[in-house]
Amino acid sequence: MRKRPEEFAILTRHLDISRFIGQVIEAADRNKNALGFFAASVFQEFARSEELYVIVSGVGEQSEYAGHLLFNCRFPKVSVLQISVEPQFRGHGAAKTLLDHLKSALTQHGFISIYARVAEDLVGANVFWERAGFYVQRVAPGGNARKRTILVRSHELASSQLFASSGFSSENPLGLDVSESAETPLFLLDLNVLFDLGPRRMRHEDAIDLFRAERLGTCCFAVSEELGRELKRTATEGRTDPMQDYAEIFPTFPDLDSEEWESLFSSLAALVFPEKLLGNLSENDKSDLRHLTTAIQHRLAGLITNDAAILGASAQMKDMYGIQVVSPTAFKQAISETPIESAFETPSADTLSLAPIHDPDGPAVHALLASLGVSGSAVATEWAVSESGRRVSSRYGVWNGSQLLGYLVWPSWSPNDVILAHVAVDESSTQSESAARALLMFLLETAAGSGSIQIRIEFPRHQVHVREVAAGLGFSGTANEAVLSKLVLGRIVTPATWDQCRSALASIGRLKLPDRPPIFRNVDQQIDVLTPDGNRVHVSLHSLETLLGPALLCLPGRGAVITPVKREFSEHLLGHLPQKSLLPQFRVALLRERHYLSDPRTLKHFKRGNLILFYESLKQGGLGSIVSIGRTQRAYLKLQGDLESADFGPSVLDAANLEAIGRAPIKTVTVFDSVMHFRKPIPMETLKRIGCGSPTDLLTTHPISDHQLQVILSEGTACD
């Protein structure tokens, strides 16, 4: 008789499945060809971690083992290691029931994706995974023994697409109003900007770049009725003015005559022309004010002009009326970084390079985007592939030799403090995750350098590595499955800078923190946050730092330690030097979480949530200063002989140079993240002055007081 899925029960707790472990091991051993081999101890370990599901038929003591699901969780992704169903229960939906339960549990906890490695020759298994919604992400070689071809299959969970009715959820914990930030701002054009399109005008190149920015979707343009009147007023009698016909291309906004208009006109006149009486304004002055009143009354984004008097009052107009008054040059100045080139080592022998995209790279970018299903019109506009000169957008690629693995583009000007970036990665490559990390971490670092800002990233379908890496960096879901968003605070927050940082978040994301910095209790303490729609939510300190990262909230009473690191290691582990090495960076540079290895006696100082201040010693040309700060995630002891690639990979050490940090047979492995650099390193003189810079202090890890921490942070962030 065919069993229905509801007749099965899924056991997930170690206590419940312990009596079935023997049957799980026996079933796995019988099916080594399909499932691969795992030692018996592996099943015990995964059961204790509750990463082993057992499905049974029947209830209580009469229940019968029907199958199991073995998986490995590494947020934000999960790898299925085994799924097996006993022959007598096959065809009854047991495997699907197991997998659906896993999908549901992971979605609730905000995971992004599930992976399964399936041998190409296992036809039946591939049919199952295909029906379960697992597409083939890439093809990889199997082990040397069987020389199989492995299909790496991926399933993207719905986690990043869910929204509660209140506007926030576990996938959008800060309740960001991403729909508002997606609206393209509409600006009025002043007449002098249109005239600058003439080839012999001094600002011709600025005007050309302005219209390139519109083509890329950064903004939209319109004109006011006043512009038409200006053209008629300045036209030469008897001559046709082609600019009059050209202006008719744009949407036109009329004046709104009313008492409000008269009052607004007078207020703007006093603001823009404070030295002139209302009756002494010229016709040009009045025309400029009419442009402004039109923009304000129709609630447009603002006005683009070259008029010095109007631009001089732009800050006041933004504060008072909420409009932006900018010149065409603004569209190519904000976040205009010096082109950067970097190279990174990877776990394989490959080296990835991050470099600006130039016109000769166009065919490679076209080919990458076409393979990902991006339309031709989007390639030319949103993705800026045809742009020349790099004046109005920043374009970068990640290369493996001559192969383009990833592409990133964002406009040079960001309206309303929102960067809209487009990113695409060739996920058929084994280096696709590293490529995604290189692009997104570079975007965050560049954005944070310009101050607090909001970032939205858009990407093609089936960009699972992009979503995974972005989730780890604090990006949240939106209503669009191909869009993610985050706020970037980009600051080390202290009690002294709390008000300033609070104002920045309210400005860029309408997010409000408490009026005063709370006292630190633990890294999981809940912080009151007022979301953009007025809801009050509670977010853990740890989560808030990640969501606003790069950011560290150095609340009063938060534990901190100073720990030494030699120059030969600090350069690669921290990446704090402004002058980057010409040699490829260690692969640790692509990792959010990094490992610091030290003497076993230091374990007691590395508590979860504690701040780590890295002191670069004077040896080998070091600065003799505290150069960076990070956040402790966890710490553990491990025998030197048991250290594996998982321990060494995120560090800058290996078995060959491990003795450089001491000969103790046991090492403390400290996992840290959220690394931020002090623009002004804190020298030894300061450390001595506040009582934590003696030679013995700086030889090993030692805790410091809250007063000492705040002095260090005050001096290190004085230039921010």
| Chain segment 31-62, per-residue pLDDT in tens | 887 888 788 888 988 998 899 999 998 877 78
| Chain segment 478-498, per-residue pLDDT in tens | 656 788 888 999 899 999 999
| Chain segment 365-397, per-residue pLDDT in tens | 999 999 999 888 788 778 877 665 456 788 999
The answer to whether residues 51 and 71 touch, using CB atoms and an 8 Å cutoff, is yes
pLDDT surpasses 90 at 130 = no
Average pLDDT over residues 399-411: 92
| Chain segment 654-700, per-residue pLDDT in tens | 777 777 777 888 989 999 999 999 989 999 999 999 999 887 878 88
| Angstrom distance (rounded) from CA 148 to CA 395 | 39
| Angstrom distance (rounded) from CA 662 to CA 648 | 16
pLDDT at 218 (0 to 100): 76
Q: Which CATH superfamily is 342-488 part of?
A: Gcn5-related N-acetyltransferase (GNAT) (3.40.630.30)
560-716 CATH fold: 2.30.130
| Chain segment 91-112, per-residue pLDDT in tens | 889 999 999 999 999 888 878 8
pLDDT surpasses 60 at 182 = no
| Angstrom distance (rounded) from CA 486 to CA 454 | 6
The answer to whether residues 612 and 631 touch, using CB atoms and an 8 Å cutoff, is yes
pLDDT above 70 covers a percentage of the chain that reads 90
Instruction: Break the chain into its structural domains and give their ranges.
Output: 5-157, 190-332, 342-488, 560-716
- Tokens (6 digits) for 386: 């045809």
pLDDT surpasses 60 at 169 = no
Q: Is 526 helix (H, G, I), strand (E, B) or coil?
A: strand
Taking the CA atoms of residue 368, residue 372, residue 373 and residue 377 in that order, the dihedral angle to the nearest 10 degrees is -40
pLDDT at 168 (0 to 100): 40
Average pLDDT over residues 507-518: 88
Average pLDDT over residues 574-579: 75
Task: Please name the residues in contact with 621: beta carbons below 8 A apart, sequence gap of 6 or more.
Answer: 567
Four-residue CA torsion sign, 39, 634, 589, 461: positive
Average pLDDT over residues 225-240: 76
| Least confident window among 257-261, 282-286, 469-473, 518-522 | 257-261
User: Is it true that 5-157 and 342-488 share their CATH fold?
Assistant: yes
190-332 CATH fold: Rossmann fold (3.40.50)
Among 1.50.10.20, 3.40.630.30, 3.40.640.10, 3.90.1150.200, what is the CATH number of 5-157?
3.40.630.30
pLDDT at 1 (0 to 100): 42
pLDDT above 90 covers a percentage of the chain that reads 29
Banded pLDDT at 559 (limits 50, 70, 90): very high
Q: How many CB atoms lie within 10 A of CB 464?
A: 25
The pTM (predicted TM-score) of the whole model is: 0.71
pLDDT at 552 (0 to 100): 95
pLDDT at 348 (0 to 100): 65
pLDDT at 581 (0 to 100): 57
| Chain segment 289-336, per-residue pLDDT in tens | 888 988 888 888 889 998 888 898 888 888 888 888 888 887 764 444
Pick the most confident of 49-53, 263-267, 567-571.
Answer: 49-53
Mean per-residue pLDDT over the chain, rounded = 84
| Chain segment 66-90, per-residue pLDDT in tens | 999 999 988 888 999 999 999 999 8
pLDDT surpasses 50 at 255 = yes
Average pLDDT over residues 229-238: 74
| Angstrom distance (rounded) from CA 366 to CA 385 | 7
- Tokens (6 digits) for 700: 């090993």
